[in-house]
Structures are given as C-alpha cells and as structure tokens.
Amino acid sequence: MRLTSDTSVQWGFVADWSLLGICPLSLCAAGLTRVAGACVSCAPGTFKADASDDACAACPAGTYSTATAATANATCVSCPPATYSNATGASACAACGTGSLSPAGSVSPNACVCGAGFGKA
C-alpha cells in the first residue's frame, strides 16, 4: 500500500486521516504542536502563535499561563504581588511565605521580603 499526497492509496482507497488524529501533509495549527505524529494542544505555561511543527514556546520566568492551546504570548501574565516564578513555562506562580511580599512579575524567591510587622525569627 502506497500513500500519495491526495491521501489515496495505490488501489484507489481513500485514507481517512482524521480517524487517526493526524494529517501527514499539514502543519499543526497555532496553539498545537506535533507529538508522536499527532497535533496536540500546547500545555499550560506554553503557547505557539503560528502554524508549524515547532514546539510550543514557554512563558518567561516571572509569568504564568493556565490556558491550554494558547496562541499568543499575551496569555503569559505577570505573577501577582507576593508570588514568583523562577522557571519558564509555569502554569502557576509560587507564593511567598506568610507575611512576605514581592513585586508583580518576580522571578526569584529572593524577591520575597518581610512585610511591615513581620520579621525573620
């Protein structure tokens, strides 16, 4: 059996690639990446803006995204105050300790400092 660009096989049968979840001659759409021959959604913390077989790009440190199949880096939002993300591709930000504060978009736990009325023991 030989596959051709029009998805027919040598004997004239038509292959229904949609049943397999793959299309061997097309690129994955924005928000999707190719894994084991199939286009799958970009995971939370990642995005892909264009149709291609490239990997999804990670949100930068200090940001996070909960979106699945994100198509723009605008889905990567700054970590809120009193949190941080020191890794790329985060789907959540880590909280500073009780009574600690940090600026929005912090990329390190070192950005967490004791708030007024709190001190290190």
Give residue 6's pLDDT. 44
Give the residue among 31, 11, 32 at the shortest CA–CA distance from 23. Answer: 32
Angle at Cα 30 formed by Cα 25 and Cα 36, nearest 5°?
Answer: 50
Give residue 64's pLDDT. 98
List per-residue pLDDT tens for the chain, 121 residues long. 444 444 434 444 444 555 555 555 589 999 999 999 899 999 999 999 999 989 999 999 999 999 999 999 999 999 999 999 999 999 999 999 999 999 999 999 999 998 766 555 5
Digit-coded pLDDT (tens) for 62-88? 999 999 999 999 999 999 999 999 999
Give residue 23's pLDDT. 52
Q: CB burial class (10 A; 0-12, 13-18, 19+) of residue 107?
A: middle
